[in-house]
Amino acid sequence: MSALPSPRPDAAPILSLDGIGKRFGTFTALDGVSLDLMPGDVHCLLGENGAGKSTLCNVIFGVHQPDSGAMRVNGAPYRPRDPREALANGIAMVHQHFSLVDDASVLDNLLLGQARGWLHRKREAERVRDVLAGVGLELALEAKIADLSVGERQRVEIVKCLMREPRLLLLDEPTAVLLPAEIDALLDTCERVAQRGCAVVLVTHKLKEISRIATHATVLQSGRVVARSASPATDIDRLVHAMIHREGDDTPDDLSARLSLAKSASPYSRPLQDEVLQVDGLSARDADGVTRLADCTLVVNRGEIVGIAGVEGNGQSELGAVLAGMASASAGRFFIAGRDMTQASPRELTQAGVGIVPEDRHAVGCVTGMSLADNLLLNHLDRYTRAGFLQRRAMRSAALELMQRFDVRASGPDALFGGLSGGNQQKAVLARELTLDPLVFLLAAQPTRGLDVGAVAAVYSHIRAARDRGVGVLLISSELDELMSVADRIVVLYRGRIMGTCTPDAGNRGRIGAWMAGAGETA
Ligand SMILES: Nc1ncnc2c1ncn2[C@@H]1O[C@H](COP(=O)(O)OP(=O)(O)OP(=O)(O)O)[C@@H](O)[C@H]1O
């Protein structure tokens, strides 16, 4: 990539990185990364899954120590040994996983380790309100963390960081789990923080977010900087190209094909009327006994992708959890290829040919303390067991083959699963579930969350290939654009009920939007 403009000469950087390198064992995660972060910057860090974005944030925040290169904060040498030193230097980070005390109130969480005595607490509460007002956020300070949505919890984390008045705020994929309105609020907050003279680093895969707020962008590929931009909104095509293009790789046509989510209809001209999933009056309640899914009836045929659309939090998670055998239905039943599986465990579902890509892969999709090979072949361990012993060599080569087919990037099959980048963990879960044999029905809940643009297209091409082989797919996604291009039929959920069903034709977009907002007919 040619255009690598040099940093602006007129302002002093809050943080500058000079040739940062980081290795994990023999694997090079960062290689000579140089970067200046100026006051007022919203700097988007882009790159494919595994490119090194989180590692770079963790080096800046003192979680990892670099093996080479130098950092400076406000011109002074900076080499934090741990996050505490980073915080002391005005650098704060919001992680993908929260560290809040569920049983305590928002205010208590914000004051944790700070409040001494009532007066102090009152003063600090005022300060919290000032911080909230300053960045235009709202939070119920007395609410319990356990009762908050994911978006609200994240707001607490951000306010916790802002209370330290950082000069640099690092946000590692903060929008992956947020609702659209929450994403807007978060982006507004980033802008306001930057306007106050801080620098913000935002790791994201979402092009819309980059166009909306990035003042600068840096693209990493295999740990190296391959492109920079000082006007990302007008540079999106170049940045995406830099993200996924590899030297000697492919032609521009191949590249756009790799990114394409162009429609491809099911090869079956009429529905096969061969039901692999039949959901009959299914209802489910949450832990507090509140009904989250109400009387849901739908069918997925062989060779068909049915998309479940809806704003997150409208019963999709409960539908997915019941169909995956991870939650009980309070009423109704569901059948896989005609067999009642309402009470089945995840293992029994797997044995019946149900592939499950769960919404929360950390909770149920994988074992982070085991190797990548173990995780990839979890469903088939019996195939690799002889006389009670695992056939490690055969497992390694089967795992290698899956890594290549599904583009799972890691140092090798023996890599610890927990050490893989988030996107590569997700690709591995998909690889495992899509290669179930036989695969009759695939339940895919938010399968592209956290994936880079090229990986999203690759995942859907795998899912379509499964459909074309006759697998029925239920695809739950909050990304309406993805559903519109991939699904053969769309079912809209609103407050746990099915509002309507239609084909994903452009002409139906308005109806789908209205159903998602709770308006219009009920199916
Ligand atoms: N603690 C670790 N031990 C071993 N390897 C690691 C560790 N942390 C990261 N890696 C490896 O470093 C590479 C970069 O990972 P990183 O998490 O920084 O990628 P990323 O760009 O943030 O990806 P994603 O978009 O998928 O989150 C990956 O190949 C990952 O497997």
Residue nearest to atom 3 of ligand 1 (CA): 419
Quick one: pLDDT at residue 75? 93
Question: Does the domain formed by 15-101+166-251 have CATH 3.40.50.300?
Answer: yes
- Ligand 1 pocket test, pick from 31, 224, 420, 459 with the greatest ligand atom count within 8 Å of Cβ, gives 420
Quick one: pLDDT at residue 111? 83
Q: Which residue bears the tokens 């067999």?
A: 339
**420 CA → ligand 1 middle, Å:** 5
**416 CA → ligand 1 middle, Å:** 11
**152 CA → ligand 1 middle, Å:** 27
51 lines ligand 1 (CB under 6 A): yes
Residue nearest to atom 6 of ligand 1 (CA): 419
Residues shown for the chain? 523
29 lines ligand 1 (CB under 6 A): yes
Residue nearest to atom 20 of ligand 1 (CA): 50
264-310: pLDDT as tens digits: 666 665 555 689 999 999 999 987 788 999 999 999 999 999 999 98
List beta partners, residue 45: 203, 218
Residue nearest to atom 24 of ligand 1 (CA): 49
**218 CA → ligand 1 middle, Å:** 17
In this prediction, does ipTM exceed 0.90? Answer: yes
- The mean pLDDT value for 193-213 works out to 91
Lowest mean pLDDT, pick from 22-36, 233-247, 420-434: 233-247
CB atoms within 10 A of CB 265: 9
202 lines ligand 1 (CB under 6 A): no
Residue nearest to atom 12 of ligand 1 (CA): 29
238-261: pLDDT as tens digits: 898 888 776 655 555 555 555 555
**CATH architecture type of domain 275-516:** 3-Layer(aba) Sandwich (3.40)
Compare 299 and 173 and report the one with higher pLDDT.
299
- Ligand 1 pocket test, pick from 57, 67, 421, 453 with the greatest ligand atom count within 8 Å of Cβ, gives 421
Quick one: pLDDT at residue 81? 96
Q: Mean pLDDT for the chain? A: 87
Quick one: pLDDT at residue 257? 54
Q: Tell which residue, 199, 248, 241, has the closest CA to residue 221.
A: 241
- The mean pLDDT value for 425-450 works out to 92
- Reading the block at residue 265, the tokens are 């209809």
Quick one: pLDDT at residue 480? 86
Q: Which residue bears the tokens 């291009």?
A: 485
Amino acid letter, residue 31: D
The reply to whether domains 15-101+166-251 and 275-516 share a CATH topology is yes
Q: Tell which residue, 439, 498, 431, 450, has the closest CA to residue 296.
A: 498
Residue 6 pLDDT class (50, 70, 90 cuts): very low
- Ligand 1 pocket test, pick from 55, 202, 403, 425 with the greatest ligand atom count within 8 Å of Cβ, gives 55
Q: Tell which residue, 49, 45, 48, has the closest CA to residue 59.
A: 45
Ligand 1 atom with minimal separation from the 64 CA? 1
**5 CA → ligand 1 middle, Å:** 27
Residue nearest to atom 7 of ligand 1 (CA): 419
Q: What residue ranges do the domains of the chain occupy?
A: 15-101+166-251, 275-516
Task: Specify whether the CB–CB gap between 199 and 215 falls below 8 A.
Answer: no
Q: Using CA atoms, how far apart are residues 24 and 66, in angstroms rounded to an integer?
A: 10
